[in-house]
Amino acid sequence: MPFKEVLDELVSSIPEAIGAIIVDNEGENVQLVSKINDYEVKIIGAYQAIQLESLKAALVDSLNCSDAQTFITRAEEMDVISMRIDPEYTVSLVLSSGSLIGPAEFMMKRKLPKLKELM
- Is residue 55's pLDDT more than 90? no
* % of the chain residues with pLDDT over 70: 88
pLDDT tens digits, 10-34:
999 999 999 999 988 888 888 899 9
In order of their start, the domains of the chain are: 2-118 (3.30.450.30)
Helices (H) and strands (E) in the chain, counts: 3, 5
Residue pair 40/33 in contact (Cβ under 8 Å)? The answer is no
d(CA 25, CA 52): 9
Is the predicted pLDDT of residue 45 greater than 90, yes or no? no
Question: Could you read off the pLDDT of 57-67 as tens digits, one per residue?
Answer: 666 666 666 66
The pLDDT of residue 65 is 64
Question: Of all residues in the chain, what percent carry a pLDDT higher than 90?
Answer: 25
Provide the CA 11 distance to its chain's centre, in angstroms: 12
pLDDT of residue 1: 59
Q: What is the pLDDT of residues 61-110, one digit of tens each?
A: 666 666 667 788 888 888 989 888 888 898 999 998 888 888 999 998 99
